[in-house]
Amino acid sequence: MSNKTQPLVHASKPTIIALGAIYTIYVAVAFRTFARVEIRRELPVYLAVELVNAVLFTLVLWRPMHWRTGQHLYFIFQSLLVLALYLLFPKFDFILSLFNPLSFQVALVFPDRVRWLWAAVFALLTGLPLTLALGAFGLAVSLLPITLCFIFPAYVSVYQEIEAGLRTSQSLLEELQTANHQLTVYASEVEEISAIEERNRLARKLHDSVSQTIFSINLQSHAARLLLERDPEHLDSQLEQLQSLTQSCLEQMRDLIASLRPAINGSSERPRP
């Protein structure tokens, strides 16, 4: 197996609100450190280490490592920095709040199982030192930062699921648009094929019926001309047949013309005689 991973694959860049909450923790820790008068001589060291912690957090946040082992080493180093600050002066219980930004960051870097393992480690490193030092009171004090160690990964997980859902919806929308375009093309092709078939049907009908009738009219006209010259008495019956054929041809032509007219209210109007 490869020991590389792609950080920030499971979530996009953190939102402004999330970053505001994270950096507020760093600012609060720095102000509380500056306000404690017990460590005036050690104050520069405390502030410098806290600054290093925040700078490393920011660098990894915006320029993530692609080496999985390096990612784990980074979080181990950050955890040791926080514990070192706390052990230098155990009364500074608020220093352990620096595990909260790290719990947010592991959710951005690691997949589900690993992120929750790291969140549990940060929760343990937050609660255990305070409980050992202050007993039940220390455990009570640590409950809020312990809770935040799980809230931040949960927030990232929910945000990732929302983003994944949006990407899926966008993908489905694009697929539907593509399918709709294809259906439109197919419908145009079907309509064109239907029009060609209808024209072929009318052409066959014209050939099979109307053209035959016109051919018969032509023969009857020729016969009427012969009767006019040789037997005028039988000319009337021949003219009646010729008129009947002409009327039949006219009716057939009307039917063809009616079939070519656009439908009105779902039906075709026959032309008036």
What is the structure's pLDDT at 261?
A: 62
Residue 66 main-chain phi, psi, to 5 deg = -105, 10
Q: Does residue 159 or residue 243 have the better pLDDT? A: 159
Question: What is the rounded (10 degree) CA torsion for 42, 45, 51, 55?
Answer: -160
- Give the percent of the chain with pLDDT over 90: 13
CA dist 208 and 167 (Å) reads 61
Average pLDDT over residues 56-61: 88
Cβ atoms of residues 49 and 81 within 8 Å: yes
Cβ atoms of residues 45 and 72 within 8 Å: no
> 266 burial class (0-12, 13-18, 19+ CB within 10 angstroms)?
exposed
- Give the percent of the chain with pLDDT over 70: 82
CA dist 97 and 230 (Å) reads 127
pLDDT, the chain, mean: 79
Query: Tokens in use for 210?
Result: 């109307």
Using alpha carbons, list the distances in angstroms from residue 163 to 13, 30, 64, 171, 173. Answer: 11, 34, 20, 12, 15
What is the structure's pLDDT at 73?
A: 92
What is the structure's pLDDT at 9?
A: 40
Q: Sorting pLDDT into bands at 50, 70 and 90, what band is 62?
A: confident
Best mean pLDDT range from 149-163, 197-211, 235-249: 149-163
What is the structure's pLDDT at 4?
A: 43
Q: Has residue 230 got a pLDDT over 60?
A: yes
Q: Sorting pLDDT into bands at 50, 70 and 90, what band is 10?
A: very low
Q: Has residue 78 got a pLDDT over 70?
A: yes
Domains in the chain with CATH codes: 16-172 (no CATH), 184-260 (1.20.5)
**Residue-wise pLDDT tens digits, 163-212:** 888 888 888 888 888 888 888 888 888 888 887 887 777 777 666 666 77
